[in-house]
Structure 1
Amino acid sequence: MPRSHPWRESLHNEVHARPPERLQAPMALSHLALLTPPGEVAEAARDQLRALLRARHLPEPAEGAGHLSVDLGGGLHLRWEQHTEFQTWTFRRALDAGSDDFEAMPLARVPQDWLAALPGQWLVGLHLMVLPAEDENGPRLVRRALDEDSLVGSSVMEGAGELMTDFRLHADGLARFVLRVGSMNPRRLGRTVQRIVEIETYRMMALLGLPAAREVGATLADAERDLARIAGEIRSARREREPELLRELTQLAGRVESLYASTHARFSASAAYFELMQRRIDELHESGLPNLQTLREFMDRRLAPAMQTCAWAARRQQALSERISRTSNLLRTRVEIEAQEASQALLDGMNRRQQLQLQMQSAVEGLSVVAISYYGSGLIGYLAKGASVLGLPVKPELAVALSIPLIALATWLGVRRLHQVIHAGLKP
């Protein structure tokens, strides 16, 4: 066989990760989810899991395992899962027929000192009692254990069960769910229970973005006011004020980008968890019960607005960042155009000065030709006078007169030749 990809086996088995358990009614379940960011906290939680297993002489999970399902003895079962941001601990046990008490839940059988030492931040907690539909204690348990004014319920799994909850934290800090099931086989019941647990877990994880959305509101309002002020000043700002405005815009952009970086991941995660929660509700195949909201209706009315707040905060950040970018680009373009105009004016001034220098240079060169001709003709005159004294047939006045145009022409040709040599040397 060809060489396998190093991830081939793990990717193939991913579809079998976290499989649902086979469950039977009556049973009770206690579920906890703790925030355990990757790193030391997550590893410390794994160490706590290993300590629990060692105390009961059970094999430890494989290195890097993402889930574990194990009987702890005494009728208590543990299902542990590692997620990106959190770990879940689900304890369950079978109930005796006729049980109708939320006080004797599986969590009470877990060592309390071990439970208190669990690393991470506790976010999700729920008790779920699963009772047969024919158990007469079911309706009485709902009335006694749940808040009637907040009661939410629906028929689930196409009428195979009824789910009730009040989405309230009770005296022990956990929410309560009651599931009454009829003709559900163990596999289907396991999938149903897993969906209920995931709905509550993903609901709370989705809500983690709400405090951040509320906190950024004031900061965004301040940034929007600063941007409006700067934009107003730009319209009437003088040239010397523009660099300072550009610096303020750059600082404002840095503040907004820092805020975006600190909240974007949280808002994106909240949207993803909300979508997962909605999928799990869809998988329950709900139908309504008289005088009760379904889980879908409850979430649409109570949770959807919170998610819209998170989405609005994310969009507001993005829009503000884009507005700052546009304003910065406009101001930067304006500064660059003005700088180009100033540079062009400087070049024009330099060109005018150069033209003036050339004109002055030409005038000086003309005067130089006259001066050289004057002194050169003077020398010729002295030579002619000397020759006349020696008896040579030379008239000094005539010699001087004839030399002047020759000297002027020679000087002019020499200057012209010098210009040609200099210009040829300056060419690339």
Structure 2
Amino acid sequence: MTFAMFKLEQHPLRTALYDELHSRPFQVIPCPAKVTHIALLTTPEQKTAQFEHLCELHRLMGVPEPREDVRCYEKSFGSFRLRREQHMEFASYTFINLCAAGGQSDPFAETGLTPLPAGWLDQLAGQVVAAFHLQLQHVTHPPEADISIIRPAFEGSRLVGSCPQNGSARVWGSFRLHSDGFGRFMVLNNSMSNSQLGRLTQRLMEIETYRLMSLLAVSLARDISPDLSDMDQQLARITQSLADHHHVDEKAILEELTDMAASIEAFRARSTFRFSATRAYHRLVLTRLEELRENEMSGHLTIREFMTRRLTPAVKTCESVAYRLEDLSRRVDRASDMMRTRVDLSIQNQNQALLSSMDKRSQVQLMMQHTVEGLSFVVISYYLVGLLKYLLDATYDAGLTFDKSLVIGGMIPVVMFLVWLSVRRIHHKFIKLAEKKQDKL
């Protein structure tokens, strides 16, 4: 959208930010009316199929099809109205029948689904989570007569009722599935305008839908809880064995801890989104209950009291399992750190023992080297004296007269000294080379 008189640069989302607050406006519902609300868990593919199925409804009703799929779509087919809303993980349909016949013995004999073409609803893609009827009618009797008149419409179920909006209407419900597979609410309008009635109806639909969506995690929490208890006991046994300083098989314990960590991560992958969604839906339910501004009807739980008593413990159960998952994950990490520390210390002790053994072997090798050097010193001296003896023999045979025994005896100390001096110089030379290499490193 462009604004002719507005010359400043526009953020690309500015228009969308304004439209966001008006994307799901409250409906204006006249009284009497029969309303049916259905919420279905959907995948992206199913949402596409739902839009195509919505277009098919328009063709069956003889009206133009919608051009594009939007988050909130409303269409009136004369006295029949349809509203479709897309949420993060579910889509909801609200069917409003404004020409329902009155005076029937069963108020729910005719519903918001009655004007739909036969078979259309059966082909709707998705998994139904919430499905309930709302009967909106004017008050024709005093509050004291409500139970005797309304209870048959709820098939004898125990009723929850209140006077929302400071007594402007009376609301009855059972929060149960009835014989037709739908839940039921009855709204008796006393002095509400069509706009107020539409807002009240919207809040009731959201309370029931979000209540059921928040409870999706309860089954998952119950499935996970026994496994968490088993792992908790297993971890307690492992940490106790570490605390007792008993000899343990580090490799086996590390394998157990690794298996537990893998199982916990698998549980977290399954449950993190579901538990987070439960907390969000629960907060929405509490917000909508606040907006009802209920007054109590004598002898009956209000909707808020019923939700607080029944829904909140279920949500707390999910939060408890989520906390146990996180706590168990941290404890497994700490136990793994302790085991790795034990393994590291064991490896260091082994390395220290190995270094001590190598040091001892080095000392033995050094002693052997000194022994070999001593022997080599004698051997080299012996061979040098032998070579010099050949030289003296040749000189003596050439006619030079001298005492060979005396000369050879005098040469031995000189040769041995020279050999010792040479070996020592060579030894020091190698030591200096080694020291220079060490300094470079």
Taking structure 1 as the reference length, the TM-score comes to 0.91
Instruction: Classify the secondary structure of the residue corresponding to 2:75.
Output: strand
1:298-377 correspondence to structure 2 within 5 Å: 298-377=306-385
Which position in structure 1 is the counterpart of 2:82? 78
Deviations 1:174-208 (A, max 9, x none): 11111123333333222211111000000100111
Q: Deviations over 1:220-279 (max 9, x none)?
A: 22322332343445456646x211221121112111211221122111111111111111
Q: How does 1:55-66 map to 2 (within 5 A)?
A: 55-66=60-71
1:152 aligned partner? 160
Distance 1:422 1:304, change over 3 A: same
The aligned counterpart of 2:3 is none
Question: In the alignment, is the contact (CA less than 8 A) between 2:97 and 2:114 conserved in 1?
Answer: no
1:173 aligns with 2:181: yes
Superposed displacement of residue 98, structure 1: 5.3
Stretches of structure 1 that go unaligned for 5 or more consecutive residues are none
Name the SS of the counterpart of 2:120 in structure 1: helix
**Could you say which residue in structure 1 is the equivalent of 2:24?**
18
Q: Partners of 1:250 and 1:44 in 2: how far apart?
A: 43
CA distance in 2, matches of 1:289, 1:147: 21
Asked whether 1:109 is paired with 2:115, we answer: yes
Q: Is 1:71–1:77's contact at 8 Å kept on the other side of the alignment?
A: yes
Correspondent of 1:45 among 47, 50, 62: 50
Mapping for residues 17-416 of structure 1, pairs under 5 Å: 17-37=23-43, 39-73=44-78, 75-95=79-99, 99=103, 101-133=107-139, 139=146, 141-146=149-154, 150-234=158-242, 235=244, 238=247, 241-416=249-424
C-alpha distance in structure 1 between counterparts of 2:368 and 2:161, whole Å: 101
| Bigger Cα displacement from structure 2, 56-65 vs 291-300 | 56-65
Q: Which segment is superposed worse, 196-205 or 141-150?
A: 141-150
Q: What residue identity is the alignment partner of 1:127?
A: H
Q: CA-atom RMSD, angstroms?
A: 2.4
Deviation at 1:64, TM superposition (A): 4.5
Contact 2:155 2:178 in 1 (8 A): no
Instruction: Quote the offset at 1:283 in angstroms.
Output: 0.9
* Aligned equivalents of 1:423, 1:296: Cα separation in 2: 90
C-alpha spacing 1:96/1:266, structure 2 compared with 1 (3 Å): closer
Task: Measure the CA separation in 1 of the matches of 2:112 and 2:101.
Answer: 16
In the superposition, relative to structure 1, how do residues 63 and 395 fare at CA in structure 2: closer, same or farther (>3 Å)? Answer: farther
CA displacement 1:107-131 (0-9 Å, x = unmatched): 1221231111111111111111222
Q: Deviation digits for residues 381-403 of structure 1, max 9, x if unmatched?
A: 33234323433354323433333
Q: Does the aligned pair in 1 maintain the 2:261–2:329 contact within 8 Å?
A: yes
* Offset at residue 349 of structure 1 (A): 0.7
Q: How many residues align?
A: 425
The runs of 5 or more residues in structure 2 that have no matched partner are 1-6
SS of the equivalent of 1:108 reads coil
Moved more, 402-411 or 320-329: 402-411
Matched-pair identity in %: 39
Contact 2:151 2:157 in 1 (8 A): no
- Secondary structure, in 3 states, of the residue corresponding to 2:322? helix
Q: Shift of the alpha carbon at 1:354?
A: 0.9
CA deviation after TM superposition for structure 1 residue 295, in Å:
0.8
How far apart, in 2, do the equivalents of 1:254 and 1:265 lie?
A: 18
Give secondary structure in 2 for the equivalent of 1:129. Answer: strand
Asked whether the 8 Å contact 1:380–1:399 carries over to 2, the reply is no
Q: Tell me, what secondary structure is at the counterpart of 1:245?
A: helix
Distance 1:112 1:420 in 2: 107
Contact 1:260 1:317 in 2 (8 A): yes
The 3 A distance-change label for structure 1 pair 355 and 171 is same
What amino acid does structure 2 have at the position aligned with 1:69?
Answer: E
User: Do the aligned residues in 1 keep the contact of 2:135 with 2:186 (CA within 8 Å)?
Assistant: yes
AA partner of residue 79 (structure 1): R
State the alpha-carbon separation in 2 of the partners of residues 68 and 386 from structure 1.
126
- Give the AA of the match of 2:108: F
Q: Deviations over 1:40-84 (max 9, x none)?
A: 2222122211211232243434534111010123x1100101111
| Aligned residue identity for 1:329 | D
Secondary structure at the residue paired with 1:109? coil
Which range is displaced more, 58-67 or 324-333?
Answer: 58-67
- CA distance 1:96–1:123, shift in 2 (3 Å): closer
Which 4+ stretches in 1 moved above 6 angstroms?
Answer: 135-138
